[in-house]
Structure 1
C-alpha cells in the first residue's frame, strides 16, 4: 500500500479578511460620526437652537396677527378642458395683506385685479385647476400679479406698502 502524504497548507485568507473587516468598521464609524454632526448642526440634538427656532416661530405668529383682508366675490369665468370643451367656473377669494388700507385699495383697483385673475385662469385647463398643485401654483402667481398691479397703481402714493399682498385664499372654487 502506498502511503498518502497529506500536506497541510497554511491558511493565509484570515489576515486579509481581518483587514477588510477593520476597514469596514472604521468607515461605518466615520459615517455615524458624520451623521451625528450633521444632525447636531441642524438643531436636532441642539436644544439651544431649537429654543431659538421656537421663539422665531412665535414672533412670526405675532406678526401674522396684523393681517388685513379684502374679498373679491362671485367671479364667473369660462375655462376649457383638455378636449377643448368650455366649462364654467365660479370663484371667490380673499386677499391677505399687512397693509391696513388693503380693502379700499382693492375696491379702487378691482377691475385691474379681476382682469389679472381672468388672464391667469384662462391660461390653464380645468384639469390643471382641479389638482392641488395647480391651485397652489395659481395662488402663487395671483399673489405676484396682484402685487404688480397694486405696485403700479399706487406708485405715486408713498404711504402704501409695496408687495403688501401676502396670500390669496380661495373661498369658492367650483368648476362645472
Structure 2
C-alpha cells in the first residue's frame, strides 16, 4: 500500500506542474502579444492629435453686366467701360443681391460717374472704387458702408497740428471692415477708359 500512495503523489504533483506550465505559456503569449502590439505600432505624431482645419468654402461669385459710364472729366467726353464680378460670402447673399440688382447697378453707375479719368487710371483710385462698390452692393442687404475718412488739411499737418479724429475713424472703419458686409471683394473683369 505504501507503494501505491507514493506513486499517486508524483502524478498529483505532475498535474500541478503541467497546469503551472500551461498558465505560464498563456501569460507569456499574452505578454508577447501585448509587447508586439505596443512596440510595433506607429508612434503618434503631434499632427495626428491636432484637429485638422476644415477646407475653406469656395467663394460665391456673381458677375454683373458690363457697364458704360460717362466720367466727371471737364467736357464730359471721357467714359469708362467696367466689367464687375462680386465675391460674396455665400449663395444666400447672391440670391438677395439678384433681387436688388437694378438698384445696385444704378448706385454703381452714380458712383463711377462721380470719378475722373485721372483718378481711375491709378491703382489707388481703382482700389478705392472697388471698396466703394462693395459698400453699395452690400447696402440693400443691410450693410451700411462707413463714411469716407477725410484727410486732414496739408497746411495743418505741416504746422505740426494733428487731427486725431480722422485717424480714429480710419481705425474704427478697419476694425469693422466687412464684418457685416456679405461682399468679400469686388473684382474688375474689364476696365477701359476712353
TM band (smaller chain): 0.5 to 0.7
In the aligned structure 1, how far is the partner of 2:88 from the partner of 2:108?
A: 17
Between 1 and 2, higher relative CO (CA 8 Å, sep ≥ 6) is seen in: 2
Give the aligned CA root-mean-square deviation in angstroms.
2.7
Contact 2:134 2:186 in 1 (8 A): yes
In the aligned structure 1, how far is the partner of 2:70 from the partner of 2:55?
A: 40
Contact 1:147 1:163 in 2 (8 A): yes
Would you tell me which structure has more strand in proportion to its own residues? 1
In the aligned structure 2, how far is the partner of 1:122 from the partner of 1:138?
A: 11
In the aligned structure 2, how far is the partner of 1:137 from the partner of 1:62?
A: 31
In the aligned structure 2, how far is the partner of 1:110 from the partner of 1:162?
A: 19
Residue aligning to 2:109 = 118
Contact 2:66 2:81 in 1 (8 A): yes
Residue aligning to 2:190 = 172
User: Is 1:148 matched up with 2:139?
Assistant: yes
Deviation at 1:162, TM superposition (A): 4.8
Q: Which runs of 4+ in 1 moved over 3 A?
A: none
SS in 2 for 1:80: coil
In the aligned structure 2, how far is the partner of 1:163 from the partner of 1:62?
A: 22
Contact 1:66 1:98 in 2 (8 A): no
Say which of 74, 77, 89 aligns to 2:66: 74
Contact 2:84 2:188 in 1 (8 A): yes
Contact 1:79 1:126 in 2 (8 A): yes
Deviation at 1:107, TM superposition (A): 2.2
Deviation at 1:164, TM superposition (A): 0.8
How many residues of Structure 1 are paired with residues of Structure 2 in the alignment? Answer: 109
Q: What does 1:87-166 align with in structure 2 at a 5 Å threshold?
A: 87-151=78-142, 162-166=180-184
How high is the TM-score relative to the length of structure 2? 0.50
For structure 1, list consecutive stretches of 5 or more residues without a partner in the other structure.
1-57, 153-160
